[in-house]
Structure 1
């Protein structure tokens, strides 16, 4: 303890006042910052808990990490990139693209790295959000939650896992310092990440045990190297790049029609079956890898190397969930097991139970989690009643099983820009979506989802929340999404006026 005559020191936290505060610097946060600046908001800040931007493309560095959406479509429409070297870009290129875009549009200097949002609460008296971080405090007229759903890893609750004597890590927290050469590896989970990293690590591990709770539909991936001549063409003629983007968009929207009318997916499902049959000759292994649900019910996966990797002599597929870990042995629910020295978790993310939802509070101190009670809900996937002046990006109801996250995001950003422009022009101090408007939209979505493959395909997926409700998916085309969010609808909101501070 200090001597009584010595001055004591305490941490003095500065308070920053901004018009807009964005939480997260992944593709959503960067896009929101560009959009808000274009809408005339000059006084904004982006807080990022990590030491670099990029979101999921910063965190996921596992071997083989790449996008499963065509490159020309996986980018901002306002920042086309003619330099993609593959038809489906890899993680390093996507991360570099996000860095370059943030720098080109002057966003990087606005990002406060190493700053984590601890608590954000609406102050109705000041009509501002008060945000506490691990460093400073902020007040903001607008709060934009851009933390994203593919961010926080989901760790399975497996008895004995914590006592495993070897190495355990999630695919999004890859241990590059851990040499897998000759290792005995158990992979738990067979989702989008595992489909990419399993073929990448299979040649160098000694033994690989894949524990598969549910078989996945895996289609061939039309990936290829983009020659220099093609990139030169796209660089010289921007119209050619727009045409490529539009062609890829049209192809994916055609696939999306089948997601809304599952009977149309028979031909695509047949392709998946043929792909499996052509690459897996062992009938027993092929049966284990054959899904028992309609294609599209779970996230659609693309790979040319996943099935071949599973046929290699050093790979064993355990078509079972993991029941427990007992010492160095991973034990399946069917009684099978494997002695291993490394466990890699390909168990996905907190998609519908995003941690940020527990940190954003209404004026009474109730969080988004408290309001949602396990079933996330938002008007147009963007605004939540009881949380004025707040916007959730890549929020509930907006996920698609076929298109690019950038398509969803840019529809929301158009809505955000329209809201901010109207807010300023009308002299508002706050805007809160009417609860009956939000409820009507949610009922409309639920009704439309009832006939889609997401709800009728016969599987359990991350589209479903803890209450068994599909809180993730958009049941219509992305064209309809763009039209629906193209114009801000002030009649859907209760607002207070700057001049009279009264409800409008």
Structure 2
């Protein structure tokens, strides 16, 4: 019988020699010396988060107040802009607003009794974000004017090698965990239209608005009819000399989300008395917010094909749009979709339909052939403009704006070149210790996105705690898990209006697969994250033995002289 290849208390077993003399039996390859520290003693962990919008700030709050770990986790948030706020700092076009009721578009830890309107403007939302940041010190870990340009996984050290551009100075650092909180609609781009650089008039993108732009009395073109264009047109039409809006496809203009909670189904201003009551009676504000959240989540049934809720929404929206367009047959044919409500993001664009009917507005649905020096050319001819507004959206490939290279030299941009596939919108195959807020197939189009961000932050920090306390080098979602998860999700999504035959950024341009919506309700998403399915991940440890974290047989409580009878309850 062979000697057991172990050592006991550092000495040889069965008379084998520890110094190689005699017939020494080799150690078991998983042997490690006993770690002289209590079980679950955390190692130091460096976490880098990219972005200080709602997501990054949510992570900062959870880290600081609800999941205290600053004694073993060093968090740094790099923000490319000069201030917090993300999309609400960057998007300053006229009419910018949120189509989610303001009282549920807030941090859960900081209800705001002083929202001016049921649906708030972009500037008011940014002011709320800034005020909350200052109140809770959420920017303590933020480095501004710091644009991450490269993150490369180093297998030998189990760390991300990170390069950051700080106003022309490139710094190099590293992280055990990398968090992408840069957002979905972050990389704006000019439309791919021939001759765009030949146009000599004023050209502006909705995501990079010129605050000094003066359109009074001017000839204006607006390209696009997504959310931004729908909000911009009513504002510019009021004073522009003439506006031509280029509409590629129909779009649903809905009665406001949670319209039955709004007065006359429209946005409204809260009275000073209502705001006073919200300030003085926190319970009343809580019940009000909870009721909005409940009704907002019920809207998911509308996204199920052929459901009674979808049918009711289709009929109500059709009637509402016909009225808004003054039953103009030509406009109704161009603007009102035949596909289900919600296939493309429905927008509660107050004033948009009325602006389309204005005398100084033309609706052009012919395909744009190209730009000219003085304007835009379609099959119907050329129109000259003083100003062209490109409300044409963003790069929605879900790849980050920086170079990201994971295990075995895999570039995420290559891996997601055709179809971006993630695990619950948070993790990607071949990307160790990498977590995403609002990645592919997250609940971006139904339910409260702020709640989703909060649950995601909790999920990420749960992983950070596990990695630090269980001597883990890296966790990577298994490729076959990502594949199976997406196969099942795509089958479920066939039941939803997201596969209803429209053209939308929700879908891959390659094969029409839905890449931006989650296969289930927002509550379904929450319960799945709470299950914390670690079996879906590959683990690598920092030693040959995964149980080194067991330490010296004692707990931290015992080491620190705590209450050793804490479990006695009665």
| Corresponding position: 1:422 with 2:453 | no
Structure 1: distance between partners of 2:395 and 2:196: 19
Q: State the match for 2:232 in structure 1.
A: 197
| Corresponding position: 1:75 with 2:84 | no
Indicate if the aligned counterparts of 1:20 and 1:144 stay in contact, CA closer than 8 A: yes
Match of 1:137 among 172, 181, 187: 172
Match of 1:41 among 51, 56, 69: 69
| Corresponding position: 1:329 with 2:357 | no
Measure how far apart 1:150 and its partner are. 1.3
Which segments of 5 or more consecutive residues in structure 1 lack a partner in the other structure? 1-16
Render the CA deviation track for 1:115-157: whole Å, top value 9, x for unaligned.
Answer: 1111001112111111001131221111101110111113211
Measure how far apart 1:396 and its partner are. 0.7
Of stretches 403-412 and 391-400 in structure 1, the one that deviates more from structure 2 is 403-412
Which secondary structure does the structure 2 equivalent of 1:364 belong to?
A: helix
Indicate if the aligned counterparts of 1:185 and 1:205 stay in contact, CA closer than 8 A: yes
Q: State the match for 2:385 in structure 1.
A: 340
Indicate if the aligned counterparts of 2:90 and 2:207 stay in contact, CA closer than 8 A: yes
| Corresponding position: 1:320 with 2:366 | yes
Match of 2:144 among 89, 113, 131: 113
Render the CA deviation track for 1:56-94: whole Å, top value 9, x for unaligned.
Answer: 101110111100001111112122222211101111111
Of stretches 473-482 and 274-283 in structure 1, the one that deviates more from structure 2 is 274-283
Match of 1:229 among 273, 276, 279: 273
Q: State the match for 1:311 in structure 2.
A: 357
Structure 2: distance between partners of 1:395 and 1:323: 34
Measure how far apart 1:239 and its partner are. 2.3
Match of 2:211 among 161, 168, 176: 176
Structure 1: distance between partners of 2:467 and 2:284: 38
Structure 2: distance between partners of 1:32 and 1:379: 19
Match of 1:87 among 115, 118, 130: 118
Q: State the match for 1:375 in structure 2.
A: 419
Structure 2: distance between partners of 1:268 and 1:210: 26
Structure 1: distance between partners of 2:545 and 2:286: 46
Tell me the TM-score normalized by structure 1.
0.92
Q: State the match for 1:11 in structure 2.
A: none
Indicate if the aligned counterparts of 2:202 and 2:388 stay in contact, CA closer than 8 A: yes
Match of 1:284 among 320, 330, 349: 330
Which secondary structure does the structure 1 equivalent of 2:97 belong to?
A: coil
Q: State the match for 2:312 in structure 1.
A: 267
Render the CA deviation track for 1:304-361: whole Å, top value 9, x for unaligned.
Answer: 20011111111001123322112213122x42442111100011111234443x5111
Measure how far apart 1:283 and its partner are. 2.4
* Residue correspondences, number: 485
Matches within 5 A, 1:52-71: 52-71=83-102
Match of 1:97 among 121, 128, 133: 128
Match of 2:477 among 424, 433, 439: 433
Measure how far apart 1:461 and its partner are. 0.4
Indicate if the aligned counterparts of 1:20 and 1:41 stay in contact, CA closer than 8 A: no
Q: State the match for 1:470 in structure 2.
A: 514
Measure how far apart 1:472 and its partner are. 0.8
Q: State the match for 1:401 in structure 2.
A: 445
Which segments of 5 or more consecutive residues in structure 2 lack a partner in the other structure? 1-43, 257-265, 549-570
Q: State the match for 1:10 in structure 2.
A: none
Match of 1:25 among 52, 73, 85: 52
Indicate if the aligned counterparts of 2:244 and 2:363 stay in contact, CA closer than 8 A: yes
Q: State the match for 1:481 in structure 2.
A: 525
Q: State the match for 1:254 in structure 2.
A: 298
Match of 1:461 among 486, 489, 504: 504
Structure 1: distance between partners of 2:127 and 2:45: 28
**Structure of greater Rg:** 2
Measure how far apart 1:485 and its partner are. 0.7
Distance 1:97 1:209, change over 3 A: same
Of stretches 90-99 and 243-252 in structure 1, the one that deviates more from structure 2 is 243-252
Structure 2: distance between partners of 1:123 and 1:35: 28
Measure how far apart 1:503 and its partner are. 11
Distance 1:173 1:501, change over 3 A: farther
Distance 1:229 1:324, change over 3 A: same
Root-mean-square deviation (CA, aligned residues, Å) is: 1.9
Structure 1: distance between partners of 2:222 and 2:102: 28
Of stretches 86-95 and 75-84 in structure 1, the one that deviates more from structure 2 is 75-84
Indicate if the aligned counterparts of 1:375 and 1:466 stay in contact, CA closer than 8 A: no
Measure how far apart 1:179 and its partner are. 1.1
Match of 1:350 among 378, 395, 404: 395
Render the CA deviation track for 1:21-60: whole Å, top value 9, x for unaligned.
Answer: 1101111111122223332332211101111111110111
Measure how far apart 1:206 and its partner are. 0.5
Measure how far apart 1:425 and its partner are. 2.8
Tell me the TM-score normalized by structure 2.
0.82
Measure how far apart 1:480 and its partner are. 0.6
Indicate if the aligned counterparts of 2:249 and 2:334 stay in contact, CA closer than 8 A: no
Measure how far apart 1:103 and its partner are. 2.1
Structure 2: distance between partners of 1:266 and 1:336: 39
